[in-house]
C-alpha cells in the first residue's frame, strides 16, 4: 500500500492513468489492488503488462545505498 500504479495508454493518443494503491487484495502483496486514481475514481485493478508499480516519489531509497553522482 502507498505505492503508485502507472498504467500506460494502450493505443496512440490514450492518456496514461496514475493512482495510489490503497489496498492489496491478493495474498502476499499480489494483485488485485484497490487503486485511487489521480482523477478521484477508485477501482479494483489486476495490472497487466502495460502497468508499472512505482514507489511514491517521497520515499527514500535504501538506507545503505550510496547517493547518485
Q: Give the span between the Cα atoms of 46 and 60, in whole angstroms.
A: 27
> What pLDDT digit, counting tens, does each position of 12-42 carry?
888 999 999 999 999 999 999 999 999 999 9
Contact assessment for residue 55 and residue 62, using Cβ atoms and an 8 Å cutoff: no
| pLDDT value, residue 37 | 96
pTM of the model: 0.75
> What pLDDT digit, counting tens, does each position of 46-68 carry?
999 999 999 987 765 555 545 55
What grid cell was written down for 17?
Answer: 492513468
Comparing C-alpha atoms, which of 47, 39, 48, 49 is closest to residue 19? Answer: 39
Residue 43 has pLDDT above 60, yes or no: yes
Residue with the bigger pLDDT between 53 and 10: it is 53
Q: Give the span between the Cα atoms of 58 and 9, in whole angstroms.
A: 25
Question: What's the alpha-carbon Rg for the chain, to the nearest Å?
Answer: 14
What grid cell was written down for 39?
Answer: 482523477
Amino acid at each position: 500500500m502507498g505505492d503508485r500504479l502507472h498504467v500506460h495508454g494502450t493505443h496512440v493518443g490514450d492518456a496514461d492513468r496514475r493512482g495510489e494503491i490503497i489496498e492489496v487484495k491478493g495474498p502476499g502483496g499480489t494483485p488485485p489492488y484497490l487503486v485511487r486514481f489521480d482523477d478521484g475514481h477508485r477501482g479494483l485493478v489486476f495490472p497487466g503488462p502495460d502497468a508499472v508499480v512505482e514507489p511514491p516519489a517521497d520515499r527514500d531509497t535504501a538506507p545503505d545505498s550510496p547517493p547518485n553522482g
